[in-house]
Amino acid sequence: MNYHFMKNKHHLYQGIDQEIGEMKSAEHPISDDESDGESPNKDRSDSNQLIQPLGRDITINCLLRLPRSDYGVVASLNRCFRSLVRSGELYKLRRWAGISEQWVYISCSPLEWEAFDPDRRRWMRLPRMPPNDCFMLSDKQSMSIGTDLLVFGKEVMSHTILRYSILTNSWSYCTPMKTPRCLFGAASFGQIAIFAGGVNAQGIVLSCVELYNSETGTWMTLPSMNKPRKSCSGTFLNGKFYIMGGIGSNSVSYTCGEEYDLEKRSWRIIPDVYPVTCVPTSPPLSIAAVNNELYAADHAQRELRKYDKQKKRWVILGRLPEGVVSTNGWGIGFRGCGKRIVVVGTVRGMRGTGTVEIFSWEPVDGVPRWELLASRPFGSFVYNCTVMDC
């Protein structure tokens, strides 16, 4: 990188920082609780250009390295900046350049979500979900894929999906699955996610599998698993998709898992990958992949475990955070978040109030030492928790 590029990049950062600073102190102040929507002062400049002296390529190269919590302000500088953010182009370029941030998305209320940036310890409140009594009262699952947050629930006669886009800071109804379902196992990898098994509206346990592409908003059918299963857990590890545990037809509890090879488009059974049986009232296994290593939370024993690939068995690393409690295993988020494991739970107060707490540990040798990243009043139960990496 030459001197002139570095000098221009320095001036660009100064210019953007100055613009952001001015807008934060102007009529439309930006707070940690504010969404990434447009500013009322959105057309401060009608210019359709980026920063002309630097050119488009250098300008974009520097914008990629801004925290995405500042993209809402960047989008309000002028129409061209707004188009860059809302088109998703910046996020595609970030992915190609190997730049990403992992945010934790949490729901502690049936129609409310908040996002937390663990690097900058910043919160952002999402818009409320569209009012729908049936959907609000139904059990829900969530998954972050690319720049989308999908929330799966039920309407009166069918399953439905609501989609939140960080590009537009808004909710909309998502294209339904080819085989709508709930109680599935799923995991995301970049802009795709795989959804396996589950149960349909007639109560039939499924073996069918679908892939969602967040860039096209489309579903694709994949080869079915060897066994039908519901209430199972999914993860990506070493470039392959894994499904673990769950309950099959006739309430058969599985200790086996299955591995899906995306290149060969085939499944293979892994026997006794997690020899802890499930019951219909218990939540799916809480698993997280960090640095291509697999971890699990045993809520009953309040223990953190790691899978030993050589010995093909689980070993106990230590305790889960002491401040986090569950209701028979429900009400806790356990997720991989970049190089961290995060555990999300609540401390219950009086009259239904509560405080959500986020703990973090970056796996190293030795006993886990949990760091409290944030504590915030936001309800007394974690309904859903997911991590968006973009």
Main-chain phi, psi angles of 96, to 5 degrees: -65, -30
- How far is Cα 313 from Cα 273, in angstroms, rounded to an integer? 8
Closest CA to 89 of 111, 57, 118: 57
Contacting residues for 162 by C-beta, under 8 A, at least 6 apart: 129, 130, 135, 150, 151, 153, 171, 172, 173, 174
Q: What is the pLDDT of residues 319-359, one digit of tens each?
A: 999 877 777 778 899 999 999 999 999 887 666 678 899 99
Choose the weakest-confidence range: 38-42, 205-209, 233-237. 38-42
Which spans in the chain are helix H? 3-25, 56-63, 71-75, 79-86, 89-96, 133-137
- How far is Cα 217 from Cα 150, in angstroms, rounded to an integer? 11
Q: At what angle do helices 89-96 and 56-63 cross, to 10 degrees?
A: 80
Side-chain-side CA neighbours of residue 89 (13 Å) = 13
Under 8 Å between Cβ of 390 and 340: no
Model-level pTM?
0.85
Evaluated on CA atoms 115, 117, 121, 124, the torsion sign reads negative
The helix/strand/coil state of 67 is coil
Residue 350: predicted pLDDT: 67
Main-chain phi, psi angles of 219, to 5 degrees: -110, 145
CB atoms within 10 A of CB 60: 15
Under 8 Å between Cβ of 280 and 328: no
Q: How confident is the model at residue 15 (pLDDT cuts 50, 70, 90)?
A: very low
Q: Is 116 exposed, middle or buried (0-12, 13-18, 19+ CB in 10 A)?
A: buried
- How far is Cα 219 from Cα 213, in angstroms, rounded to an integer? 7
Res. 314: pLDDT tops 90: yes
Q: What is the pLDDT of residues 195-212, one digit of tens each?
A: 999 999 999 999 999 999
Res. 384: pLDDT tops 90: yes
Q: Which residues pair with 290 in a beta bridge?
A: 293
Q: 99-113 as b/e, with b when 16 or more CB fall inside 10 Å?
A: eebbbbbbbbbbbbb
Domain annotation for the chain: domains and CATH numbers: 3-96 (no CATH), 100-129+320-390 (no CATH), 135-284 (2.120.10.80)
